[in-house]
Amino acid sequence: MSTQTATTILESLALDEEGFLLDPQTWTREIAQALAQAEGISELTEAHWKIIEFSRESATESGASPTLRQITKGTGISTKELFALFPKGPAKKVAKIAGVGKPEGCI
């Protein structure tokens, strides 16, 4: 996805002051790619999608964004790998890209 396309997508979205989707129902994979680019992740790999999809399913079931521990346990991906895929605050970045809202306890 080009930077221009990502910017156009982001400009059309209703986001809060931190960049989280206000309406999770509007989320699409294309929106996820644009949000990822805005977070400095140029390409979403199969591992990224596994985490994003888990987070969306978990949030739908529980009504809350999954914690870092829930993500690692639910996906089998180590904390170290999660930090490599989503640097500097992976639970918050995953939640933002997955369109599920800010996790409780995140600053």
Catalytic residues: 106
In DSSP terms, 21 is beta-bridged to: 15
> Residue 78: CB partners within 8 Å, gap ≥ 6?
72
Residue 97 sits at φ, ψ, to 5 deg, of -70, -35
